[in-house]
């Protein structure tokens, strides 16, 4: 196995652990925005699509990825805007 591959596996392992620890702390209150936000972030796949589009290979994937990024961020922010504390936020 190439060294680059091994370092990629390390990155995956560490990112998965960080993901678990960070997301475990997200309040169930915000699980819907969590899903729409991770959905938008996941659309980072668009970087692969952009490179392909730039090499004149696949255009549709750039459109799909971009619409997920734009739509995902918009709706997450709209949802989060609605969450208001009553007077002084508790916790």
Partner 1 sequence: MTSLGGGEYVIEVLYIISAALFILSLKWLSSPATARRGVFAGEIGMALAIIGTLFYKGIVDYKWIAIGLVLGTIIGVPLGRVAMTAVPQRTALSHAFGALCVTLVGTAEYYQRTPSVPKFTMSVLSLEVILGALTFTGSLMAAGKLQEILPQRPITYKGQNFVNLAMLLVAIVIAVTLVRDPSRTALYPPMVLISLIFGVMLIIPIGGADMPTVISLLNSYAGLSAAAMGFVLESKLLIVAGALDGASGFILSVNMSKAMNRSFTNVLFGGFGQLQTTAAAQEARPVRSATAEEAAAILSAAGKVVIVPGYGMAVAQAQHKVRELYDALTKRGVDVTFGIHPVAGRMPGHMNVLLAEADIPYDKLLDMDQVNGDMPQTDVALVIGANDVTNPAARNDHSSPIYGMPIIDVDKAHTVMVIKRSMAPGFAGIDNLLYYLDNNLMLFGDAKAFVGNIVKELSGNSGGH
Q: What share of the chain is helix, strand, coil (3-state, %, to 5)?
A: 80, 0, 20
Q: Give the separation between CA 76 and CA 41, rounded to whole angstroms.
A: 11
Complete DSSP assignment for 6-54: HHHHHHHHHHHHHHHHHHHTS-GGGHHHHHHHHHHHHGGGHHHHHHHHH
Minimum distance from CB of 83 to partner 1 (Å)? 4
């Amino acid at each position: 196995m190439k060294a680059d591959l091994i370092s990629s596996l390390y990155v995956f392992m560490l990112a998965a652990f960080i993901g678990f620890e960070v997301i475990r702390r997200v309040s169930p209150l915000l699980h819907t925005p969590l899903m729409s936000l991770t959905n938008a972030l996941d659309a980072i796949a668009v970087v692969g699509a952009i490179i392909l589009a730039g090499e004149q290979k696949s255009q549709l994937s750039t459109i799909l990825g971009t619409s997920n990024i734009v739509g995902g961020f918009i709706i997450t922010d709209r949802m989060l805007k609605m969450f208001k504390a009553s007077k002084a936020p508790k916790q």
